[in-house]
C-alpha cells in the first residue's frame, strides 16, 4: 500500500467512511515482511508480542500516529506465516494487558486468543452463474424459505467431534436440498470465547470460528451451496460484544469501542458491552466487518441480531440514560443502521438484509429516503408469539382466541416480514415446536403439520430452525447434536411432510409472489370460531388462486362448505393428514365441483371433508381446452423454452419409463410441469389418454414423492446450462 493510499485509508477510517478497514488495520504482508496496525488512541504504549518472540519476553514496540493508530513494520525473518501474535497494551495507569487483534481473520484454537498470521490466496470461484441469477432476482416476489442452523450442534461425528465446514458441505447441503429450502442461515460463525454457547458474544469480527475449519473451507461450502441452488446467510451482531478483558472491552484502557456513559455501555441482560455507534472508527470497523463477510464469502444474506437493543436506550435491564430530547430512542443506533443499509445496498442490492426487531416499530424495512431504516425484511415476532400461543392451547378454548391467528392480518403488509420459528423458541423451557402442540403424540404431529402449513400459507418469507422439520421432541441442546439417533417413523413422516410442504411453497407463486401486497390475500372466513376453522385465499400476480383451510379442532368435518370466488373443478394440492405424512387418511379428497349458491359475498360454494387438526390447500383446475394444454402438446420444441429437446429427453427418459399400460409420451408431462413452473400458470386437467393422472400436478407430485423429479431436474439443469 503506497503512502498516499495509507493516508487515505487512515483518514477515512477516522471519519467513519472506510468500509474496507481490514485492508489497512490488522496484519498485512509487505514487500519484505509484515506490517501490524491497531487502533488504540489512549494507550500509553502498544507492543507486538508473538510466539516467535517468546511473548512478553521480547515485546516489539509500535509507533503511534496522529489519529490513534499504532503500527510496526517487521522483516520476514522476524515473523512468518503461521506465527501467533497479540498486542500488549499499556494503559495510562501503567497496567499492561494482552489484547487480541480486532481485525484478525484467523485465531488459534480456543481457549487461545492469539491471532494467527494467515495468508489467503484469491479463490477461483465457480458460482458465477448463481451470482448472475441473484443479481436478477426480486427477493420480495420470490420464494424464500430459510433453514436456520447452529453449525456445531446440527450433527457431529460419532466420537463427538464437531463438524467442520468441509464435513457440512458433504452432509448439510444435500440434506437442505432434499428438504426443498431455498436458503441456509447460520447462527454466528465469528470467533467467540465460549464453545458451548450460541455464539453471540463475539470477539473476532473478521475471523471464522476456529473449530469450524479454515476460511477456505467456508468459502468452499458457500460455493457448493450455490452450485446446489441454495443461498447462504449468517447472523451478525453489531449491537454488543464480549466483555472479556483480552478482547475489545476497554481496549486501550478507556471506553474505546463502547460508550463512555456506563448506562449505555453495559448490557446487563446479556452480560456484554454495547458498541458506541456514534464513533466513526467503530462505524468503519463494523461496516467493514459486514462487507468483508458478504464479499469474501459470497454470502446471500445477513440477519442483524438484536436490533431492538440498539434502537432503544431502555430495552435492556437496569439503569438507562435518556437522550438529549428526553426520549428512549438511541439516535446513534438509528443513524448507524441507516448508514449500514445504505452502504451495503449501494454495493450489494441483491444481498438480503433482515432485522431481528421485536417491537411494533414500523419503517424497519422502509426506504432510508422515506425515514425508514433500509432493511429488506423484519422478523415478525408478534405473529410468531401469537401463533405459538394459539397452537399450544386446548382446542376447547381456541374459538375464544381466534384473534391470535388473525390479528396479523391487520398489519402484515406494514413491513416486509419473515415469519420465524427460530432457535429462540425451542430453548430455556419453551419446549420444541412439536412438544408445544396440544394432545397426544399423534395429535401433536398433526398440530405441527398444521402449524407449518399455516406458516407457509401466511404472507411473509419463512424461517424454520433445525430439528423442527422432523418434529424433534426435546429442546435444542447447543452442546450436542439433534436427535437423529432417536427418531422413529413419525419423525421420518414429519420430515417427509416438511419436504413436500417446502416444495409446494416453491412450486406455487400464489404463496410468495404478492407477500407484500393485500392483492395477494383474501379472507374467506375468519369468524368461524364455533368450529375453529380458518380459511383464506392466496393469489399471484396473474390472479391464480389457492384456497387454504385450517381446522384447529380435533373433529373431522364432513361436507364442510365455504364460499369461493371462482366456479369450476377444484383439486386438492395438499392434505396434511395423509398417511404418508403420519396422518390417518389413505386417500385425498376427490376433485370437487363448485355449486352455485350464495355464501357471504361469494356466488358459489366448495364442499369437502376437512380432516381433524388438518389443513388442506385447493386449486381450481383450468379447462381441458385451455391453450396451456395445447401449448404443452405442441411439438414445435425447437423454439420452445419449456419443451425438452431430443438431446435432453435422451438423458431424462430413463427417469420416467413408460409403463405397460401407458399409451402416452411422458415427455409431454415433463414438459408440462416445466412450462407451468416457469410461467406460474394453473395446473391443468389432463385428457383421458394420460391415465392414471388426472392433472399435471398429480404426475408431478408422484414423481417428487419418489425423488424422481429432483434427480431428473439436476441432470436437466446441467444439460440446459451446457446447451
Q: Where do we find the cell 438507562?
A: 320
Bond into 480 cis (ω within 30): no
Q: Is the pLDDT of residue 585 over 60?
A: yes
State the DSSP H helix or E strand holding residue 434, giving kind and residue range, or none if neither.
Answer: helix 433-436
At residue 668, the pLDDT reads 77
Q: How far is CA 46 from CA 82, 95, 226, 244, 345, in A?
A: 22, 12, 43, 19, 37
Who wins on pLDDT, 366 or 256? Answer: 256
- pLDDT tens sequence across 473-483: 999 998 899 99
Place of cell 503461521: 82
Q: Which fold has domain 518-620?
A: Immunoglobulin-like (2.60.40)
**Overall average pLDDT of the 578-607 stretch:** 95
Domain 143-511 and domain 518-620, same fold? Reply is no
pLDDT tens digits along 373-418: 999 999 999 999 999 999 999 999 999 999 999 999 999 999 999 9
For residues 108 and 116, what is the distance between their CA atoms, to the nearest angstrom?
A: 7
At residue 318 the predicted structure's pLDDT band, cuts being 50, 70 and 90, is confident
215-244 tens-digit pLDDT: 999 999 999 999 999 999 999 999 999 999
What is the pLDDT at residue 124? 96
CATH match for 143-511 among 2.40.50.140, 3.30.390.50, 3.20.20.80, 3.50.50.60: 3.20.20.80
In this prediction, residue 641 carries a pLDDT of: 61
**In this structure, how many other beta carbons lie within 10 angstroms of the beta carbon of residue 420?**
26
E strand or H helix that includes residue 147: strand 145-149
Q: What is the mean pLDDT of residues 503-529?
A: 96
Question: 56-111 pLDDT, tens per residue?
Answer: 888 999 999 999 999 999 998 899 999 999 999 999 999 999 999 999 999 998 88
Judge whether residue 632 has pLDDT over 50.
no
DSSP per residue, 509-570: GGGTTTTT-GGGEEEEEEEETTTTEEEEEEE-TT--EEEEEEE-SS--EEEEEEEESS-SEE
Is the model's pLDDT at 616 over the cut of 90? yes
Residue 127: Cβ-neighbour burial (10 angstroms; 0-12, 13-18, 19+): middle
**Euclidean distance between CA atoms 404 and 246, whole angstroms:** 47
Cβ neighbours around 390 below 10 Å, total: 20
Please tell me the CATH superfamily of domain 3-116, with its number: Immunoglobulins (2.60.40.10)
- The beta strand positions in 373-460, using DSSP E, are 377-379, 417-421
Bridge partners, 461 (sequence order): 418
What pLDDT, on the 0 to 100 scale, is given for residue 703? Answer: 74
Distance CA 292, CA 288 (A): 6
Q: CA torsion sign, 126 to 127 to 133 to 136?
A: negative
Residue 650 has pLDDT above 70, yes or no: yes
Active site residues: 305, 356
Strand-pair category, 145-149 with 183-186 = parallel
Between 650 and 702, residue with greater pLDDT: 650
**Cis peptide leading into residue 621 (ω within 30°):** no
**Structural Rg of the chain based on CA atoms:** 28
Task: Sketch the domain layout of the chain as residue ranges.
Answer: 3-116, 143-511, 518-620, 627-722
Amino acid at each position: 500500500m503506497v503512502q498516499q493510499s495509507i493516508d487515505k485509508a487512515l483518514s477515512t477510517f477516522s471519519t467513519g467512511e472506510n468500509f474496507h478497514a481490514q485492508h489497512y488495520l490488522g496484519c498485512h504482508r509487505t514487500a519484505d515482511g509484515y506490517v501490524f496496525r491497531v487502533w488504540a488512541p489512549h494507550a500509553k504504549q502498544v507492543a507486538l508480542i508473538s510466539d516467535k518472540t517468546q511473548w512478553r519476553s521480547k515485546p516489539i514496540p509500535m509507533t503511534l500516529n496522529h489519529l490513534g493508530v499504532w503500527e510496526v513494520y517487521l522483516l520476514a525473518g522476524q515473523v512468518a506465516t503461521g506465527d501467533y501474535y497479540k498486542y500488549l497494551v499499556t494503559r495510562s495507569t501503567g497496567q499492561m494487558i494482552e489484547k487480541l487483534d480486532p481485525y484478525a481473520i484467523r485465531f488459534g484454537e480456543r481457549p487461545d486468543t492469539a491471532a494467527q498470521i494467515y495468508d489467503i490466496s484469491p479463490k477461483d470461484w465457480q458460482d458465477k452463474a448463481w451470482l448472475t441469477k441473484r443479481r436478477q432476482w426480486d427477493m420480495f416476489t420470490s420464494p424464500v424459505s430459510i433453514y436456520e442452523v447452529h453449525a456445531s450442534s446440527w450433527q457431529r461425528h460419532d466420537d463427538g467431534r464437531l463438524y467442520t465446514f468441509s464435513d457440512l458441505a458433504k452432509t448439510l447441503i444435500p440434506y437442505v436440498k432434499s428438504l426443498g429450502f431455498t436458503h441456509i442461515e447460520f447462527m454466528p460463525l465469528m470467533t467467540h470465547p465460549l464453545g458451548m454457547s450460541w455464539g453471540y458474544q463475539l470477539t473476532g469480527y473478521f475471523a471464522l470460528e476456529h473449530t469450524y475449519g479454515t476460511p477456505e473451507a467456508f468459502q468452499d461450502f458457500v460455493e457448493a451451496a450455490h452450485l446446489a441452488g441454495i443461498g447462504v446467510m449468517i447472523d451478525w451482531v453489531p449491537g454488543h460484544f464480549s466483555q472479556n478483558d483480552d478482547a475489545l472491552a476497554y481496549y486501550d484502557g478507556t471506553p474505546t469501542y463502547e460508550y463512555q456513559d456506563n448506562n449505555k455501555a453495559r448490557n446487563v441482560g446479556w452480560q456484554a458491552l454495547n458498541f458506541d455507534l456514534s464513533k466513526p472508527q467503530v462505524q468503519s470497523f463494523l461496516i467493514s466487518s459486514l462487507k468483508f463477510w458478504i464479499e469474501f464469502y459470497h454470502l446471500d444474506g445477513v440477519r442483524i441480531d438484536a436490533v431492538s437493543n440498539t434502537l432503544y436506550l431502555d430495552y435492556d435491564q437496569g439503569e438507562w440514560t435518556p437522550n438529549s430530547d428526553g426520549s428512549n430512542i438511541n439516535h446513534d443506533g438509528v443513524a448507524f443502521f441507516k448508514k449500514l443499509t445504505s452502504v451495503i445496498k449501494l454495493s450489494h442490492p441483491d444481498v438480503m438484509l433482515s432485522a431481528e426487531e421485536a417491537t411494533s416499530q414500523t419503517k424497519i424495512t422502509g426506504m432510508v429516503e422515506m425515514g425508514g431504516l433500509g432493511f429488506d425484511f423484519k422478523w415478525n415476532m408478534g405473529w410468531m408469539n401469537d401463533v405459538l400461543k394459539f397452537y399450544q392451547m386446548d382446542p376447547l378454548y381456541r374459538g375464544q382466541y381466534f384473534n391470535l391467528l388473525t390479528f396479523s392480518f391487520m398489519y402484515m403488509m406494514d413491513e416486509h416480514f419473515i415469519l420465524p420459528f427460530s432457535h429462540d423458541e425451542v430453548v430455556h423451557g419453551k419446549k420444541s415446536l412439536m412438544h408445544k402442540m396440544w394432545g397426544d403424540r399423534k395429535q401433536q404431529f398433526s398440530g405441527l403439520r398444521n402449524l407449518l402449513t399455516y406458516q407457509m400459507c401466511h404472507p411473509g418469507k419463512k424461517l424454520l430452525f433445525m430439528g423442527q422439520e422432523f418434529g424433534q421432541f426435546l429442546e435444542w441442546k447447543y452442546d450436542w447434536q439433534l436427535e437423529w439417533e432417536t427418531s422413529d417413523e413419525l419423525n421420518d413422516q414429519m420430515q417427509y411432510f416438511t419436504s413436500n410442504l417446502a416444495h409446494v411453497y416453491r412450486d406455487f407463486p400464489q404463496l410468495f409472489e404478492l407477500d407484500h401486497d393485500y392483492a395477494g390475500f383474501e379472507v374467506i372466513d375468519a369468524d368461524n370460531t364455533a368450529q375453529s376453522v380458518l380459511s383464506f385465499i392466496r393469489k399471484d400476480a396473474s390472479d391464480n388462486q389457492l384456497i387454504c383451510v385450517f381446522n384447529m379442532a380435533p373433529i373431522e368435518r364432513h361436507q364442510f362448505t365455504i364460499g369461493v370466488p371462482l366456479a369450476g373443478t377444484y383439486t386438492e394440492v395438499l392434505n396434511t393428514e395423509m398417511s404418508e405424512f403420519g396422518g390417518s387418511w389413505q386417500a385425498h379428497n376427490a376433485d370437487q365441483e363448485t355449486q352455485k349458491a350464495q355464501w357471504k359475498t361469494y356466488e358459489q360454494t366448495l364442499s369437502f371433508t376437512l380432516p381433524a387438526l388438518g389443513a388442506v390447500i385447493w386449486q381450481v383446475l383450468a379447462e381441458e381446452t385451455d391453450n396451456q394444454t395445447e401449448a404443452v402438446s405442441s411439438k414445435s420444441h425447437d423454439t420452445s423454452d419449456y419443451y425438452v429437446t431430443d438431446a435432453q429427453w435422451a438423458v431424462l427418459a430413463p427417469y420416467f419409463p413408460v409403463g405397460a399400460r401407458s399409451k402416452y409420451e411422458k415427455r409431454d408431462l415433463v414438459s408440462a410441469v416445466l412450462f407451468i413452473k416457469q410461467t406460474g400458470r394453473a395446473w391443468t386437467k389432463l385428457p383421458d389418454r394420460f391415465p392414471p393422472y388426472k392433472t399435471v400436478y398429480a404426475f408431478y407430485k408422484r414423481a417428487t414423492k419418489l425423488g424422481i423429479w429432483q434427480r431428473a431436474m439436476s441432470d436437466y439443469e446441467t444439460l440446459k446450462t451446457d446447451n
